[in-house]
Structure 1
Amino acid sequence: MLGALTLGRALGAGSVLPRVSPQEDWNEIDPIKKKDLHHSNGDEKAQSMETLPPGKVRWRDFNQEAYVGGTMVRSGQDPYARNKFNQVESDKLRMDRAVPDTRHDQCQRKQWRVDLPATSVVITFHNEARSALLRTVVSVLKKSPPHLIKEIILVDDYSNDPEDGALLGKIEKVRVLRNDRREGLMRSRVRGADAAQAKVLTFLDSHCECNEHWLEPLLERVAEDRTRVVSPIIDVINMDNFQYVGASADLKGGFDWNLVFKWDYMTPEQRRARQGNPVAPIKTPMIAGGLFVMDKFYFEELGKYDMMMDVWGGENLEISFRVWQCGGSLEIIPCSRVGHVFRKQHPYTFPGGSGTVFARNTRRAAEVWMDEYKNFYYAAVPSARNVPYGNIQSRLELRKKLSCKPFKWYLENVYPELRVPDHQDIAFGALQQGTNCLDTLGHFADGVVGVYECHNAGGNQEWALTKEKSVKHMDLCLTVVDRAPGSLIKLQGCRENDSRQVCHVGCRAGTRGAHTCVVLVDSCWPVSPHAVASLAHRGCGSGWLPLTPLPLWLLLLGGHLFWVVSSQSLRMGEFTSVPPV
């Protein structure tokens, strides 16, 4: 999902910035390097002179072995069981390990304002691997100018072992708050924000590693305009081997009508416009939600988080819509890089199931902020209509109080790249047969389509039947490329009056003598779940196909019958005419 960049230089495990050898002439040193040396020596000197409160230790003196040792994976245990990433690999790493400097060269030469405000860093966690949580805390302290870190607030969301957080409270600048019951990400973050003493809030997930000079570019943007909400480029920490890999700088946050977050590549025009200044801030329709910086008072004025959202999910949609529609802006700052462990599944449980919780949270965001466009969400995810979403009156009143813009404004001015379904489309949603759905398989123009288990989340399984009787995904239509039997159909740009993109018929069940068969009818939807068809037998007569347990699909495009012979492709069959019903 995130493309990799060529990795830059890596610093030694104990180094923060380059040193000057005794033989070097100060006047011959590069001015940028000289600036870094002033910055580094001054910060380290100030930090070493600072008196620590009783019971506190500097991060370098914290006993990593004692903290992590009691929770390490034992021989024979599954290293993925607790955290859904390889904890064995995580536990091997130093708390202050070196990671590649993945910033653009221009960022490494850039000078930042010296009068930046300090920030309170809020990190919430629930049963996080101690090694990952410790590296997050240490990377904040190691990679940030000390005067810019007012405090690190750890909010323990009722972890099984209270000492996961309590022991980290010994580290300089770390405060630990523990919930007396499970509250979830949103309410835990609000608790941390309410306790924060700095004027700027920095939210981080609990399995991150900050890169060189990650903080200054974020604080600078917020200091210039308090209505900006800014996020770093999120580099990838591999969940299996914990390799740190730089992410593409050509990405923005977005979503499909299933309201699931995704990364969008900039358009060619947007990339060309940035060639002269590749490190300029990137306006983004949405943030991933785990890592961002925001003015504390603006966070409060804007309504914090929706406190009736549970556990995790949907909160990034809600805050992104709210910021844009109520007068703020969202940016990704290329000169700020923070690594994040991306997992394939959640390590913790959701009351009622993760799908239900996500649907509830997402419905709350849609009902408050999306106006009539919420209907496209319900068309893409019909099951969401059955999930109660609670009382939203206070959030509707907040929207009115803040004089927020309509969602149509957001689509036209912030996210014009998002294709809005045609209101005249005949149907919109998934093409489903049994438990399988027609799926793009992640392919784009000239790619083939196939079937995949239905996930009810739209995305690759989101289709529209247009008034021209084409089957469309985004701006691509199913297309007859080669009329020979057995050939594939592909995704191609939709064209008017192209007979190769017209869907004529589908199927329904029927009886022909002793055979249970399907007949072609005037519909484009596939056969019912119990009426799967095979071309292996001809006992049903012309135009009729027998039923077998094989998972095959029928669809007629451009006068040609197609069927799925495997999960990987949709192929053309032998019937080229539509018999009368």
Structure 2
Amino acid sequence: MRRIRANAIAILTVAWILGTFYYLWQDNKPQSSPSSSASQTRGRSHGQKVVPGRLEIHRDDRTIPLIQQGQLLGGFDEKAYLVGKQLKPGDDPYREHAFNLQESDRLGSERAIRDTRHYRCASLNYDTDLPATSIIITFHNEARSTLLRTIKSVLMRSPPSLIQEIILIDDFSSDPEDCQLLSQIPKVRCLRNGRREGLIRSRVRGANTASASILTFLDSHCEVNTDWLQPMIQRVKEDHTRVVSPIIDVISLDNFAYLAASADLRGGFDWSLHFKWEQIPIEQKMARSDPTQSIRTPVIAGGIFVMDKSWFNHLGQYDTHMDIWGGENFELSFRVWMCGGSLEILPCSRVGHVFRKRHPYDFPEGNALTYIKNTRRAAEVWMDEYKQYYYSARPSAQGKAFGSIADRLTLRRKLNCKPFRWYMENVYPELSGLSVCVPPACFSSKAPTSLAASNLWHLSK
């Protein structure tokens, strides 16, 4: 009897363990497709990383276009458009665009990419009456294959009812036909600047001409992923003061492999106003019971986001006295939080972006001086006494011209915005490890420990 009882207990124990493992496996199993095995093989061949033990199990299904190419381009002659600007034999593929143009041209204007969302995202439902959006893409001398792939990914992977228009702002590119020819594609409009204006003023021009109630700002070297648009429009529809951004996946500048970014990151910065990605604080991570929930972020990267047009206008659009590119994401992020809004990153929205190691174009006043001017304007208008930490971390900014900020200070008073101390205490307390003092009492600063790690994704244009 003892032996029988012992055997029975052993069998029950093994059955319980196997049942527990089966339950956990079912709970975390990604949705499968008939081609899942082949897809996984293709994913590995493109260098995708598999992180053991992660809750986020990325599906390896391939994106399925909502619109086929025949319906997509109308009378646009894609072949003629691409052949006109392809790389010539012997040319350096990195010289003009700071990424491998030869590989971009080889890929053509479209391809299937991995669905990098958490598998639970596929089961979410969105309102059937979501408002349409105007998509605003600014560019200056962008590679034709990359720009066209951006546009076609939007048209092929977005519900047609949600795309009011795609507004291209050609920021005085060398060849006007880079933009003009694309206006033959249905829903695509082309506006060309008469001189170089930069991303900031170009986006304002696009927003002013947009006919939809929702604005979607998108860089010109992207590929949107499955169901990228619905989650962002849904969140803005529910609360028009939200500004939402996708998780930004990485497109390799060398071989254009599409790489899934971590879903555990948010936007942060150091006192020099240098953007970086950082881990979500542990308390925020523990409070997120569902991996599809939105992530509060102190700042957004700025290249890709969705915003209600009336809210964008109410908050003062962009600071148009900033030049070209750089720092505008801090100014907008501070303004949104301090003046009654919020910033979110949505895990169920994914957009790939080509991140380059250098700027492929010149800044009229130089890259460094332009960035200092722009970030100094943001610090002077929004950071109050905390701006001294900016000057301590970036002493070269002292004495540099940054223009008049009277109109932006008037805007801040008109909007009755909160002080930067409120932002530090309620939005970004992880940066508050420094005691504030007004000069000349102290002028030293050390990097907050939450930003000290350098092994996080650092993504710059």
Mark the runs of 5 or more structure 2 residues left unpaired by the alignment. Answer: 1-47, 52-56, 453-461
The 3 A distance-change label for structure 1 pair 134 and 157 is: same
Q: What's the offset of the Cα at 1:421?
A: 2.1
Asked if the contact 1:3–1:248 (Cα under 8 Å) also holds between the matched residues in 2, the reply is no
Describe the SS at the equivalent of 1:300: helix
Contact residue 137 and residue 166 of structure 2 kept, 8 A: yes
- The Cα shift of 1:9 comes to 2.1
| Residue equivalent to 2:410 | 397
Contact kept in structure 1, 2:165 and 2:189, CA below 8 Å: yes
The aligned counterpart of 1:9 is 60
CA RMSD of aligned residues (A): 2.3
> Contact 1:228–1:294 (CA<8 Å) still a contact in 2?
yes
| Runs of 5+ consecutive residues of structure 1 not aligned to the other structure | 17-39, 49-56, 430-462, 465-472, 479-581
Deviations 1:368-419 (A, max 9, x none): 0000100000000000113100000000000000000000000000001114
The 1:348–1:3 alpha-carbon spacing in structure 2 relative to 1, beyond 3 Å, is farther
Distance 1:268 1:408 in 2: 23
1:474 aligns with 2:433: no
CA drift at 1:154:
0.1
Post-superposition CA distance 1:83-104 (Å, at most 9, x none):
1011111111131211100011
- Which residue of structure 2 aligns with residue 325 of structure 1? 338
| Deviation readout 1:354-381 (Å, 9 max, x if unpaired) | 0000000000000000001000000000
Q: Distance in 2 between matches of 1:4 and 1:63?
A: 40
Per the TM alignment, residue 267 of structure 1 is displaced from its structure 2 partner at its CA by 2.0
Residue matched to 1:113: 127
Q: Out of 378, 383, 387, which is 1:374 matched to?
A: 387
Confirm whether residue 232 of structure 1 aligns to residue 243 of structure 2: no
**Amino acid in structure 1 at the alignment position of 2:178:** D
Corresponding position of 1:22: none
- Normalising to structure 1: TM-score of the pair? 0.66
Q: Is the 8 A contact 2:247 2:263 kept in 1?
A: yes
Q: Which residue of 158, 162, 178 corresponds with 1:164?
A: 178
Q: TM-score, normalised by structure 2?
A: 0.82
Q: Distance in 2 between matches of 1:160 and 1:406?
A: 44
Are positions 1:341 and 2:363 aligned together? no
CA distance in 2, matches of 1:93, 1:77: 18
Structure 1 Cα separation of the partners of residues 204 and 425 of structure 2: 31
* Structure 1, 116-125 or 379-388: larger mean CA deviation: 379-388
Where in structure 2 are the equivalents of 1:163-182 lying within 5 Å?
163-182=177-196
Q: Provide closer, same or farther for how the CA distance between residues 241 and 287 of structure 1 changes in structure 2, counting only shifts above 3 A.
A: same
- For residue 138 of structure 1, what is the aligned residue in structure 2? 152
Secondary structure of the structure 1 residue equivalent to 2:154: helix
Task: Sort the Cα spacing of 1:111 and 1:166 in 2 relative to 1 into closer, same or farther, 3 A.
Answer: same
Kept after mapping to 2: 8 A contact 1:103/1:334: yes
Percent of residue pairs identical: 58
- 1:156-197 deviation per Cα after TM superposition (whole angstroms, max 9, x unaligned): 000000011011110010000000000011100000000000
Which residue identity is paired with 1:474? P
Aligned with 1:386: secondary structure?
coil
Count of residues paired in the alignment: 397
Letter in 2 for 1:11: R
The correspondence of residues 75-224 of structure 1 with structure 2, limited to 5 A, is 75-224=89-238
Match of 1:316 among 329, 339, 362: 329
Asked whether the 8 Å contact 2:424–2:432 carries over to 1, the reply is no
Superposed displacement of residue 7, structure 1 = 4.9
Matching residue of 1:350: 363
CA distance in 1, matches of 2:430, 2:241: 24
Deviation at 1:474, TM superposition (A): 2.9
Bigger Rg, which one: 1
Change over 3 Å in CA distance of 1:235–1:61 after alignment to 2:
farther
Larger strand fraction of residues: 1
Which runs of structure 2 are paired with 1:335-484 in the superposition (5 Å)?
Answer: 335-423=348-436, 464=446, 473-475=447-449
Pairwise mapping of residues 514-553 of structure 1 onto structure 2 (< 5 A)? none
Q: In the TM superposition, what whole-angstrom CA distance separates every residue of 1:457-506 from its partner, at most 9, and x where no partner exists?
A: xxxxxx64xxxxxxxx5349x9xxxxxxxxxxxxxxxxxxxxxxxxxxxx
Aligned to 2:296: 283
- Structure 1 residues 67 and 315 mapped into 2: Cα distance closer, same or farther (>3 Å)? same
In terms of fraction of residues, the more helix-rich structure is 2
Q: Measure, in 2, the Cα distance between the counterparts of 1:90 and 1:4.
A: 25
**2:90 aligned counterpart, secondary structure:** coil
* Structure 1 counterpart SS, 2:255: coil
Which residue pairs with 1:58 in the alignment? Answer: 72
| Pair 149,308 (structure 1): closer, same or farther in 2 beyond 3 Å | same
Classify 1:195/1:117 alpha carbon distance in 2 versus 1 (closer, same or farther; 3 Å).
Answer: same
Q: Structure 2: which amino acid aligns with 1:121?
A: I
Offset of residue 264 of structure 1: 1.1
